[in-house]
A and B are shown apart, each in its own frame.
Chain A
């Protein structure tokens, strides 16, 4: 029941048959190549050892093991399906990057960057708030009432010592382990800080937890991690906003995001990427939804020169449900690459993906998504839709939805479109008195609204719509 392409210019790859070529997911076994790619003056084993020097043994071992995986995994090239449209040799200048060592930072509103302060001011009330500056958590706030209920919100670095029993089994083990790929390995070896959120059984947070991350240093590689655990029957929404200055020299930000929704838990995870020009943002996310859990995600990619999101949603328990939403808006020569996976392991689970992007200037959008229904995942409902709106004749979009189904009692569909702004829509609005730019802005925000309206979360929709409108205003 694949959907037909509605417009010209769509790239269409579909394989509905069982047993089709498997994803190039695991890079850990590529021992045949002798190459040790990606080792530079800054990025080498010594750097990992220095970082791990004062850490507990389990973590030091984990970092070094991750480093070994990194060493023996070749640098992804465009020959790999997953990296076909993002050429790292051209887009990532790894050997020019310096590491940003962790250092203790304090957040002072009076000395904080204007853009960060403005972004935080636009947010509504929160259950908790984490401010991370250049890879180090500078401030953590959490409502006392939640703290007393056992909610933990803290810097990942600090939590290593404070909550080893919670972290050791889950950090870079199940969700985003080093064995997933070259950059998952690099992050697991070199992460400096990040956010840890733990919500105990049955605890429900009325207001979202917010994270504001700011990156200011040019020419750096920054590695940050997020670990979210919602225990059985708990509920939380989490909004991670990443911002930076514009960089004359490329800065590389690697974010690894691990999200666990235990039985019946409900999580909404939102990533709002608003990096500046010159930033390469890589976000590698894995969500694991257990029995009857709801684990919804929204990835909003607006900034950065290169933005790559790897999102893998695992429906691990029967009755699990994941809405996977994405919005991107590109201009100039921005490059967005969204690589998603809906992994149906358990029966009776549902996933519904909708990614929509508007691309202006010479920007490029790539969407590659796979629905994988494993043997035994009967009565799976899995849907996947990607729609692109090209606002200039130089913008381009590639859309590659895919199905791999090993069960026989499933409902799956996928569809992709690439289209232009409809002149009839613009004329209709102009005939009511709107100027052409006003009309075009409305059509574009309306196009993206379908996604945003599906995740109604305190202030996020308004914020994102506002940012896009401002960008459209030029």
Chain B
């Protein structure tokens, strides 16, 4: 497993469902076991679209290419099937679901992953949940509150990382997790992701971000620049710093092609 990629995207094209405007014009990307990658790019470059398409959001339609997760093309699978295979999307804008507590649906999600043959151990679950809440510096009552209902921006992002910590994905897609976070919340979130990655070195992470600041806490193995629906440049962590200094201006012509 260590040698074969966790995620392998080839010539992925996608558009908004029901519209003719293609947003991803052939994305290629390979993430190996345990690697942390970052995708950076200006607004409107297709970063979030890529995350949503990988997670199976019904608002987008794949028009070409493939995305293999653990060797299997997942583009034909439902979002729940992808999640049960170990994919996780931390939302840029987590929705508020009244009346559904984090604990309740995480329990349901873990049980769904186990299938019908195995019963989730509720004591283990509670213990794990409490531990994870401690890591992310939230009150124990946090998990009893309805998902994101009345949460501050920082709480919503912590809730996303808490869910990730409990669900322990093989591949975490983090869609602009750093946006709308103050520096304290950013540090907590980064600490959480780092701890998870250290705990389970097999977890691969794809960080989607506009800014470099999260990457100064979580050092990526690879950085890709997505502009106009294509990856126009890839490099090591130093690329993120370069982008932070120079901006995306030099890639503009790429859009025109």
Contacts and interface: CB of A to CB of B under 8 A. Distances in A.
A428 B91 contact: yes
A448 B95 contact: no
Interface stretch (B107-115, B191-199, B206-214, B216-224): B107-115
B78 A433 contact: no
Given A436-B78, A442-B104, A442-B108, A431 B98 contact: no
Given A427-B58, A438-B112, A442-B108, A432 B100 contact: no
A401 B79 CA distance: 39
A433 B82 CA distance: 8
Nearest to A452: B99
A271 B78 CA distance: 41
Contacts of B78: 430, 436
A433 B89 contact: no
A446 interface: yes
A431 B95 contact: no
Interface in B85-101: 88-89, 91, 94-95, 97-100
Interface in A357-375: none
B98 A427 contact: no
On chain A, which size bracket covers the interface?
20 to 34
Interface string A428-468: 11111111101100110111111001000000000000000
Nearest to B173: A431
Contact of A430 (B79, B104, B110, B163): B79
Contacts of A428: 91, 94-95, 97, 147
On chain B, which size bracket covers the interface?
20 to 34
B98 A447 contact: yes
Given A427-B79, A430-B83, A442 B95 contact: no
A432 B98 contact: no
Contacts of B109: 429, 432-434
B99 A432 contact: no
A389 to B, nearest CB: 11
A424 interface: yes
Contact of A423 (B55, B58, B113): B58
A429 B97 contact: yes
Contacts of A425: 95, 97
A446 B98 CA distance: 6
Contacts of B82: 431
Interface in A142-173: none
Interface string B65-92: 0000000000000111011100011010
B146 interface: yes
B53 to A, nearest CB: 12
B46 interface: no
A434 B94 contact: no
Given A442-B100, A446-B100, A449-B99, A434 B58 contact: no
B94 A435 contact: no
B57 A427 contact: yes
B119 to A, nearest CB: 16
A435 B80 contact: yes
Contacts of A436: 78, 80
A443 B80 contact: no
A365 B97 CA distance: 23
B146 A446 contact: yes
B56 interface: yes
A415 B106 CA distance: 33
Residue from the set A423, A425, A438, A442 with the largest chain B CB neighbour count within 10 Å = A442
Contacts of B113: 433
A427 B88 CA distance: 12
Contacts of B105: 429, 432, 434, 442
Contacts of A450: 98-99
Contacts of B89: 431
B99 A433 contact: no
A464 B146 CA distance: 19
A430 B58 CA distance: 11
Contacts of A422: 95
B186 to A, nearest CB: 23
Contacts of A442: 97, 100, 104-105, 108
Contacts of B147: 428
A444 to B, nearest CB: 9
B167 interface: yes
A450 B113 CA distance: 28
B106 A432 contact: yes
Contacts of A443: 97, 100
B83 A431 contact: yes
Residue from the set A423, A433, A448 with the largest chain B CB neighbour count within 10 Å = A433
B133 to A, nearest CB: 17
A433 B77 CA distance: 12
Contacts of B56: 430-431
Residue from the set A431, A434, A443 with the largest chain B CB neighbour count within 10 Å = A431
Interface in B139-183: 146-147, 163, 167
Contact of A434 (B57, B95, B98, B108): B108
Contacts of A447: 98-99
Contacts of B98: 446-447, 449-450
Nearest to B79: A430
A213 to B, nearest CB: 29
Contact of A433 (B97, B146, B167): B167
A435 B77 CA distance: 12
A217 B163 CA distance: 52
Given A425-B97, A431-B82, A433-B110, 12 more contacts: A428-B94, A429-B100, A430-B56, A431-B83, A432-B88, A434-B108, A434-B109, A435-B80, A436-B80, A443-B97, A445-B99, A450-B99
28 contacts: A424-B95, A427-B57, A428-B94, A428-B97, A429-B100, A429-B109, A430-B56, A430-B78, A431-B55, A431-B56, A431-B80, A431-B82, A432-B83, A432-B88, A432-B163, A432-B167, A433-B83, A433-B112, A433-B167, A434-B80, A435-B80, A436-B78, A438-B112, A442-B97, A442-B108, A446-B98, A446-B100, A453-B99
A-B CB proximity, top 4 nearest: A446-B99, A449-B99, A446-B100, A433-B83
